[in-house]
Amino acid sequence: MTLLEGKIAVVTGGSRGLGRAVIERFLEDGAQVVTGSRTPPVEPFQGEVKWYELDVSDRASVEELIQNTFQSHGRIDILVNNAGIEIEKTIEQSNDQDWDQVAGINMKGVYLCTQATLPIMRSNGGGSIINISSISSFVADPNLALYNASKAWVSGFTRSVAVDHGRDGIRCNAVCPGWIMTDMLMQTFAQASDVEAAMQAAIAKHPLGRLGEPRDIANTVAWLASDQSSFVSGQTITVDGGLTAAAPIDPSDHG
């Protein structure tokens, strides 16, 4: 039997990037997957995946996705709250529209999807919720003030769900990716005058000597979704190649 054989999983923001990598890993592990996003997948998945148009900041849209999944499959075992955005601004540069957009997707979306899924998981006898947070939840990336704050909220929310609903057999954990090779990261590199130099400088900051791949995050999510992690709940697991473990000192400065 594969790791997630017979499990029913919902993944938000699954059309590309980390969400797509998670779906591909889940399919390999035998799960049946439903996903929702604002835009459909550009390429078909290598397996059967049901896609719905989804606005995670809208309660009606979220409840339609969750109820459709329940009606089709009779249960939900795994929820991955992956949908998220970032706006590159400081607090002083940000406006109310920026706040509404970031908070609506990164915070309210996690809240709405979790709230809609909890009763179904309780009726199942339990389940696993995995929230995609970020190393930005505990170390602030410059010019990402609202994003940083929203991811810190996700980590706090994760602990509350784990504490309040553990008795129902529901586990909740967060994964904190570091610098992962996604479209979002490449957009950041694209702002540099020398993209290749910027990437090499970023790689040099990682003790493992490389940037992360979406698969690195998907592997961690799959483990948290599986029964192998049945005693893990309320945790934030950092997957960053050692980036945030290192002191900001260049060894060459010491001869």
The answer on pLDDT for 255 being more than 70 is no
Q: What is the mean pLDDT of residues 231-241?
A: 98
Residue 207 falls within a domain, yes or no? no
Output the pLDDT for position 1: 63
**Boundaries of domain holding 48:** 8-178+213-242
Q: What is the CATH number of the domain that holds 155?
A: 3.40.50.720
Residue 99 falls within a domain, yes or no? yes
Residue 232 falls within a domain, yes or no? yes
Give catalytic residues, as residue numbers: 147
Residue 38 falls within a domain, yes or no? yes
Q: Look at phi and psi of residue 57 and say left if phi exceeds 0, alpha if psi is from -120 to 50, else beta.
A: alpha
Answering whether pTM is above 0.75, one says: yes
Q: What is the mean pLDDT of the chain?
A: 93
What order of strands is seen across the sheet that includes strand 236-239?
A: 49-53, 32-37, 8-12, 78-81, 127-132, 170-177, 236-239
Q: What is the mean pLDDT of residues 18-38?
A: 97
Whole-number percent of the chain with pLDDT over 70:
95
Residue 208 falls within a domain, yes or no? no
Query: What domain count does the chain have?
Result: 1
What single-letter amino acid sits at 96? D
Residue 147 falls within a domain, yes or no? yes
Q: What is the mean pLDDT of residues 1-12?
A: 93
Residue 184 falls within a domain, yes or no? no
pLDDT tens sequence across 49-61: 999 999 999 999 9
